[in-house]
Structure 1
């Protein structure tokens, strides 16, 4: 699939506003300093963490090997103190990104040249509610026009603020730290952790897990994503799974919003299946999955060891597909540029305020917003 520096036009849904007056941006919020401190998906990162838990209990002798696989970034140091306050209600916020780098194993998968650039192909804010029995997940469309705040990357490089730019420019400009800063600016929520998964690792992880079973209610065909699925039940291998979560032309209105709906459905299908895989009875498969998982994720420094990742994953084991509420950040199509979407500020504020108070996302917060037209096309196989 070719690199998508300019997404294809999105077709507006019925009744969706495209007037010039609707051109609203996600504004950065400045706060007083405080004293303290790929295409891939949410469940790829969660599964990665989960199999590390199994790896730690069933293959402890491999601890140092797995520990050496992990990559971590000191995002807290890069962001400093000008950040939203940590929640005091027992909840956690995790930013999960799927990276679209054009190097190594990802060059072939991304379809672009190794030009040294990277893009955040998928972005999800995972809010783990108090008690860690349920989660709310908010996908942020990469084509959303925002005002990006100034930021410092993890190498110390400084990047100026920019107005009316695509959301995924934050990652391509300043990497993980700038992506976190931008999400915190839009949402007003503190990101407690960061997890990033790359294309090649995601594909291999699905293969190591033995594939994922899904049911499609209509045919999905996209030559760019090497995807040709008739309606019916399928066991997707890694290449097909990657094609599914990357396709935007094969289903819905052809926009990034439709792709997000496919991604969310795939997350639930994988989460539903991964609990029944039975890795503990197959030591070689267990090792392959744990090895791939620890090579696939990049984390913040607080999760940068197997022990830390095991502890983190243990706290998420009670969250299954039925206890995940997945929505897309409320947006409307841009009347001036059909390739972009705009933040629907009033409704988005409802979402972020609900999560800040650790409450459920109101159903009316996503009513009447741009959708993508792909909901219900992909489901977990029965």
Structure 2
């Protein structure tokens, strides 16, 4: 009888008392979910209270960030320094969480366990640590990838010479004008041809946006004052018989002729000259540019899982006689590229319209879930695809404006300078400047027939261009995407 009671006592010691290993693992799991549970269960009240207080502080901070301060997160997410700190903080939090799990098991583990039970306990704790480590590591990695993409695409203001006052990022200007370029660096051509050129003029208070699109085949346009105008005093005439002097040739011409943009480094000469040229054509200041390589753009669409569009008419696709049929379609990157580039059976002007519809569809469908699930691929594609002179410090302010567009509060209108409004072979540049001025100076929320002119605070015309004349006829702007 005595020996039997002794064996039962030793068995209880090996199992760690009531519950044994199962109880220890259950409380360890509870402590992994809510810090401090294990310490309270073993009478370590001070340590348990400290862990619980730290856990609640982190939880409340996280909950407040995704609810009350959710809009601020978007602004922080485009600041490389903040992303670096977030990445480091997530790594530290993951390590701390793993240590809490391990320590919780150690204070709960029965004093004596059989070899099999010890192995089971260690394996169970390892699984818990892995479950904690994976989301922390993924989040830290995503923050690092985002920072890397931002610093690769956007230079700081000190590096680019474009200082940004964080208190007044737009320097008191009523509008910011960004030149959106679609570059077509195809294998069968030398250099980059900017076949898509649109100025997005954005109201810095409301986010209302006007898209002013210029055709690739615009001719006889004036060059900006300086070496470029000295070389082409009567308008751009190109560089030889293969380059007849179209607007989409200016970018590559500047890259091949450094003397027309003196003092500007390679790969920056094209954007600078094209910005100044477009500014002169429209009579508007052009602040920044974004160049999208159309072939790399297909990678972004593939990373998003495709883009949904309504195709209104059959579009020839590929070199094998395929066709994009009418109807609602989800296009992959290659198909979307053909949708935006095809001119077979249509024209440059129809293609311009399709490109704008494609850009709009991508912007609308790039929701947080899509971006998060394919973040690495999208970031890698963006690094290969995008180039810009927008400084990093301006990104929070631009994200705020884009949020107004996303939320539906801001209006987007478009105006294409194409026939019959403007004939690209013999353009009326006074008319172009007048129409551009009307488009950006009128409030889309008010119907007015008062002379528009160029009111105080509107974008200034660049040097060497005439201010557009007042006009009492409203400009018709519309969105034609199905």
Confirm or deny a common fold (TM above 0.5).
yes
- Report the alpha carbon displacement of residue 126 of structure 1 after superposing the two structures with TM: 0.1
Identify which range, 67-76 or 222-231, moves more after superposition: 67-76
- Report the alpha carbon displacement of residue 201 of structure 1 after superposing the two structures with TM: 1.9
- Report the alpha carbon displacement of residue 193 of structure 1 after superposing the two structures with TM: 1.3
- Report the alpha carbon displacement of residue 120 of structure 1 after superposing the two structures with TM: 0.8
Note if 1:137 corresponds to 2:211. Answer: yes
More strand by share: 1
d(CA) in 1 for partners of 2:211, 2:383: 23
- Report the alpha carbon displacement of residue 228 of structure 1 after superposing the two structures with TM: 1.5
In the other structure, the counterpart of 2:414 is: 326
- Report the alpha carbon displacement of residue 187 of structure 1 after superposing the two structures with TM: 1.3
- Report the alpha carbon displacement of residue 241 of structure 1 after superposing the two structures with TM: 0.7
2:272 to 150, 162, 177: 177
In the other structure, the counterpart of 2:232 is: 161
- Report the alpha carbon displacement of residue 204 of structure 1 after superposing the two structures with TM: 0.5
Question: Are the counterparts in 2 of residues 120 and 168 from structure 1 also a CA contact under 8 Å?
Answer: yes
Q: Aligned to 1:133, what secondary structure does the other structure show?
A: coil
d(CA) in 2 for partners of 1:51, 1:212: 28
Q: Aligned-pair RMSD on alpha carbons? A: 4.0
d(CA) in 1 for partners of 2:184, 2:340: 13
How many residues matched? 291
Question: Are the counterparts in 2 of residues 52 and 290 from structure 1 also a CA contact under 8 Å?
Answer: no
In the other structure, the counterpart of 2:304 is: 209
- Report the alpha carbon displacement of residue 223 of structure 1 after superposing the two structures with TM: 4.2
In the other structure, the counterpart of 2:175 is: 91
In the other structure, the counterpart of 2:326 is: 231
More helix by share: 2
d(CA) in 2 for partners of 1:365, 1:342: 21
d(CA) in 2 for partners of 1:363, 1:192: 28
d(CA) in 1 for partners of 2:188, 2:375: 33
Identify which range, 158-167 or 234-243, moves more after superposition: 158-167
Matches within 5 A, 1:1-382: 53=78, 56=83, 59-70=142-153, 88-101=172-185, 110-113=186-189, 115=190, 117-150=191-224, 160-161=231-232, 163=235, 165-174=245-254, 175-223=270-318, 228-250=323-345, 254-275=346-367, 277-280=369-372, 282=373, 285-300=374-389, 302-303=390-391, 305=392, 308-320=394-406, 323-332=411-420, 340-345=424-429, 347-355=431-439, 357=441, 359-360=443-444, 365=475, 379=482
Change beyond 3 A, Cα 1:98–1:137: same
- Report the alpha carbon displacement of residue 71 of structure 1 after superposing the two structures with TM: 6.3
Question: Are the counterparts in 1 of residues 201 and 440 from structure 2 also a CA contact under 8 Å?
Answer: no
Q: Aligned to 2:426, what secondary structure does the other structure show?
A: strand
In the other structure, the counterpart of 1:7 is: none
Q: Aligned to 2:286, what secondary structure does the other structure show?
A: coil
Q: Which has the larger radius of gyration?
A: 2
Higher relative contact order (CA 8 A, sep 6+): 1
Q: Structure 2 unaligned segments of length 5 or more: list them.
A: 1-73, 87-138, 163-169, 237-244, 255-269, 445-451, 453-471
Q: So what's the TM-score if we normalise by structure 1?
A: 0.64
Question: Are the counterparts in 2 of residues 331 and 344 from structure 1 also a CA contact under 8 Å?
Answer: no
User: Deviation per CA, 1:220-257, whole angstroms, max 9, x where unpaired?
Assistant: 1244597621111110011011111111114xxx3211
Q: So what's the TM-score if we normalise by structure 2?
A: 0.51
d(CA) in 2 for partners of 1:202, 1:51: 26
User: Deviation per CA, 1:329-378, whole angstroms, max 9, x where unpaired?
Assistant: 2544999xxxx5432445423322125536449995469xxxxxxx96x6
Q: Aligned to 1:147, what secondary structure does the other structure show?
A: coil
